[in-house]
Amino acid sequence: MTTAETGSTAQQQTSTRAWLGLAVLLTGTFVAQVDFFIVNVAIPSVQADLGATLSQVQLIAVSYGAAYAVAVITGGRLGDLYGRRRIFMIGVTGFAVASLLCGTATDAWVLIGARVVQGAAAALLMPQAIGSLHAMFAGQARERAFAVFGVSMGMAWVSGIVLGGLLLSADIAGLGWRAIFLINVPLAAVALTGAALTLTESRRPAAPRPDLLGMATLAVLLGLLIVPLILGRQAGWPAWSIAGFALSAVATVVFVAVERRVLRRGDDPVLSPDLFRDRTFRLGLTVIVVFFLGPPGFFLLTTLYLQVVAGFTALQASLSLLPFGVTFVLTSQFINPIKRRLGDWTIVLGCGVMAVALAGLATVVHTTGEQITLAALVLPVLLLGTGQALVTTPLYEMLLRNVRREIASTASAVFTTVQLVAQSLSVVIVTIIFAALAQARLDQALPADGDGTTRPAVAACANEGLTDFTAGTRVSCPDAPPTTRAAVEAEARTVTAVAARQAYVGTFAFNLLVLVVSGVVVARRARRASD
């Protein structure tokens, strides 16, 4: 049965079936979201089992996100046109099949191909969740639904980090790393069954002809932008990545021309102009771009610092972020009453709390150095989770506040794409800042002989160790003379650890800038709304 977008608001608010449908949607999106993060923990095991090369390992790590980012706007558009329930179920089915292929992969290239299919399937199912929430609920019920959605996304983020380590440690049925993919199959089956039983179809009442050329052109444009952005940094920015950026500019011009032609013809373009006429939607996208330039790169560096410098295991490093997820979930439970009292100032409050947390974490890292403990991290990480919940959960609602229901899935997909691009840029920018600061600190800290010149063996080892930092590798000196290798390695590790710590703390300035700008943008909007 198909329900028009203009169905009874009262029924939507009070329907038990709608809340059951929410649980189903969150099950599917939770599984897809977890897969953004869970594979990173398993990369060493995958590499050893399949004999993957370094380039293959990089592709395994990023192919899912790249395929998702390229296809998600098209996925959202298909949901608006052909029914969100239908496209959600197709996406869940594809995700289950791709997960099975991942879990049974016999070599690295099969795994890479299956990860691409996983990402494309996730691009079909993920936008339907927010689009369906927008169509299924109204008023305070919608606020509660988005709060639950925010909790689920926070839990998925943390679960992806922690669950991977737990599954690898448990080694269920001797499956090793394969369990992290195979566990998706029964969960997808639950989501698929639940969707068939509880979800009511929602789509545009009179679906226009799909803009297939616009969808194809947009996919090419995003591919030319996102793939070089994700893979280029790890490959040292080769010529093909620069060419990709240049061609994405050309593709943008072509896409605009195609969409203008669609509008002149009286058809509906893949990106509705109504989205960008909405001032609140544009403001939300601006905040997303700015805000997400900070956290992804910050958390990547934090995990690397704890493992490479402080000597944490992968599981210990992931557990250090568990308080973030706990307070994110707990804070999200109280978002609605806070938001009703503060409005959009809730986001400004969240930026302030995160800034305090960063200052606290910087103090802890600066004072403890390599002796940092899990206990010392708990309070600042707790505050980070609280602050991010105060920012991101209201941001979802603000973005879609005035969006028409019939284009809600497309709006959600645009939001997701912009967020993914910002996250990719975050890793690039924060890594560049860290590398520059660390190299400057290392040059100052390198030990010198009696005549004031740097000892070549220590310098070579320390510089190479700094380069290996972003790959999660500790300093080692295989090229040093055997008789002095231990001493050279110890000295190189000491100076590299000092440089890494100072550079890591130095990147906090960029993260604080991101928070200040995000807070100012929202504060200006909130002030205008109250005048």
Instruction: Report whether pLDDT(247) > 90.
Output: yes
Model pLDDT, residue 256: 86
CB atoms within 10 A of CB 94: 19
Helix (H, G, I), strand (E, B) or coil at 452: coil
Instruction: Report whether pLDDT(32) > 80.
Output: yes
From 251, 267, 283, the end of a domain falls on 267
Distance of CA 526 to the CA centre of its chain: 27
Q: Are 65 and 397 in contact (CB under 8 A)?
A: no
Same domain as 40, residue 80 = yes
Same domain as 224, residue 200 = no
For residues 60 and 40, give the distance between their C-alpha atoms in angstroms, rounded to a whole number. 9
Rounded mean pLDDT, 121-146: 80
Residue 486, in any domain of the structure: no
Q: What is the count of structural domains for the chain?
A: 2
Rounded mean pLDDT, 75-93: 87
Same domain as 102, residue 45 = yes
Model pLDDT, residue 471: 57
- Terminal-residue alpha carbon distance, the chain: 45
With bands split at pLDDT 50, 70 and 90, how would you rate the model's confidence at 356? very high
Helix (H, G, I), strand (E, B) or coil at 390: helix
Lowest mean pLDDT across 66-70, 213-217, 229-233: 229-233
Rounded mean pLDDT, 357-373: 87
Q: What average pLDDT is seen over the chain?
A: 80
What is the model's pTM? 0.72
Model pLDDT, residue 5: 43
Instruction: Report whether pLDDT(287) > 70.
Output: yes
Rounded mean pLDDT, 189-218: 79
With bands split at pLDDT 50, 70 and 90, how would you rate the model's confidence at 447? low
From 234, 252, 267, the end of a domain falls on 267
- Helix boundaries (H) for 233-278: 239-264, 273-277
Percent of residues, the chain, with pLDDT higher than 70: 86
Same domain as 218, residue 201 = no
Instruction: Report whether pLDDT(13) > 60.
Output: no
Model pLDDT, residue 7: 41
Residue 419, in any domain of the structure: no
Residue 522, in any domain of the structure: no
Rounded mean pLDDT, 284-306: 83
Same domain as 220, residue 200 = no
Predicted confidence (pLDDT) per residue in 154-164, tens digit:
677 666 666 77
Domain assignment of residue 127, given as a range: 1-208
Predicted confidence (pLDDT) per residue in 470-518, tens digit:
655 667 776 777 777 777 777 777 888 888 888 888 889 898 999 999 9
Residue 515, in any domain of the structure: no
The β-bridge partners of 448 are 454
Same domain as 184, residue 99 = yes
Same domain as 172, residue 127 = yes
For residues 388 and 380, give the distance between their C-alpha atoms in angstroms, rounded to a whole number. 12
Instruction: Report whether pLDDT(451) > 60.
Output: no
Instruction: Report whether pLDDT(12) > 50.
Output: no
Lowest mean pLDDT across 3-17, 361-375, 395-409: 3-17
Q: Are 190 and 37 in contact (CB under 8 A)?
A: no
Predicted confidence (pLDDT) per residue in 483-496, tens digit:
777 777 777 778 88
Same domain as 200, residue 83 = yes
Same domain as 259, residue 203 = no
Same domain as 169, residue 253 = no
Residue 470, in any domain of the structure: no
Same domain as 222, residue 202 = no
With bands split at pLDDT 50, 70 and 90, how would you rate the model's confidence at 333? confident
CB burial readout 348-372, b (16+ within 10 A) else e: bbbbebbbebbebbbebbeeeeeeb
Structural element, H or E, at residue 3: strand 2-3
Predicted confidence (pLDDT) per residue in 209-225, tens digit:
677 788 888 888 888 88
Model pLDDT, residue 211: 75
Residue 409, in any domain of the structure: no
From 218, 252, 267, the end of a domain falls on 267
Q: Are 267 and 488 in contact (CB under 8 A)?
A: no
Lowest mean pLDDT across 183-197, 309-323, 508-522: 309-323
Model pLDDT, residue 46: 82
Q: Give the CATH number, domain containing residue 153.
A: 1.20.1250.20
For residues 54 and 438, give the distance between their C-alpha atoms in angstroms, rounded to a whole number. 24
With bands split at pLDDT 50, 70 and 90, how would you rate the model's confidence at 352? very high
Same domain as 230, residue 85 = no
Percent of residues, the chain, with pLDDT higher than 90: 15
